[in-house]
Amino acid sequence: MVRLLFWIAVIAAAVWFWRKFKSPAAKQRRSSEHDAAMMVRCAHCGVHLPQDRALSSGQEWYCTQAHLEQGPKSIGR
């Protein structure tokens, strides 16, 4: 019985140490995943999209070439 309790304690300690030392690496990886792209709003339809995929005209951003050609539209909300 003592042998069984000893092995349970050893396994529990091993699992605890494994989780403890695994956590900092996982937290660092998660924090680097939060580097999200800057989002902008289409001046024509109001859709939000990443800035690197948007088309710009001056200070305004557009989601497609067609919306860029049509220009800004007032969005009544």
- Residue 74's SS3 state is coil
Closest to 67 in 3D by CA, of 53, 76, 55, 50: 55
Taking 90 as the threshold, does the pLDDT of residue 54 lie above it?
A: yes
For tokens 């999209």, the residue is 49
pLDDT digits (tens, 9 = 90+) for 1-53: 899 999 999 999 999 988 888 866 556 666 555 667 899 999 999 999 999 99
pTM of the full structure: 0.51
- Residue 12's SS3 state is helix
- pLDDT grade for 77, boundaries at 50, 70 and 90: very low
Rounded Cα gap, residues 13 and 6, in angstroms: 11
What does the pLDDT read at residue 66?
A: 93
